[in-house]
């Protein structure tokens, strides 16, 4: 039982650390430019892979075929599954830039 609790705590810590936790100094630098690919690289690639093929998080190679930019932005804002909400610290320009860029992946 103790091992399961320890694994849960460790796993949760990993998700928060790997996915940026919603706004460290790297996040601020990336979001100031609102460059979709750069913001993704600095905040999302640790879970979704630099090549969009997935890892801890799902593949996003063809996410634009499933979701439009507005839907993707809502996922970024609200989280989904193991992805925490406000992964970009509520920076609307960064959210829009990443959502637009990802919506083109079909």
Q: Answer whether 21's CB lies under 8 Å from 37's CB.
A: no
Task: Give the whole-angstrom CA distance, residue 32 versus residue 35.
Answer: 8
Q: What is the mean pLDDT of residues 33-59?
A: 94
In terms of residue numbers, what domain contains 74? 2-103
Contacts of 66 (CB under 8 A, 6+ apart): none
Q: How far apart are CA 18 and CA 15, in angstroms?
A: 5
The enclosing domain of 73 has a CATH number of 1.10.760.10
Q: Which two tokens stand for residue 2?
A: 């103790």
Q: Token digits for 16?
A: 């928060």
Q: Is 105 exposed, middle or buried (0-12, 13-18, 19+ CB in 10 A)?
A: middle
pLDDT in tens, 77-97: 999 999 999 999 999 999 999
Number of domains in the chain: 1
Both structure tokens of 73? 């932005």
DSSP state of 80: B
pTM: 0.69
pLDDT digits (tens, 9 = 90+) for 71-82: 999 999 999 999
The per-residue pLDDT for 3 is: 58
């Amino acid at each position: 039982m103790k091992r399961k609790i320890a694994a849960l705590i460790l796993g949760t810590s990993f998700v928060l650390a790997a996915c940026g936790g919603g706004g460290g100094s790297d996040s601020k630098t990336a979001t100031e430019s609102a460059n979709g690919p750069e913001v993704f690289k600095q905040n999302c690639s640790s879970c979704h892979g630099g090549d969009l093929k997935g890892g801890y998080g799902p593949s996003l190679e063809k996410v634009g075929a499933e979701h439009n930019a507005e839907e993707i932005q809502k996922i970024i804002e609200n989280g989904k599954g193991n992805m925490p909400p406000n992964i970009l610290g509520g920076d609307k320009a960064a959210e829009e830039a990443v959502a637009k860029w990802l919506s083109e992946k079909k």
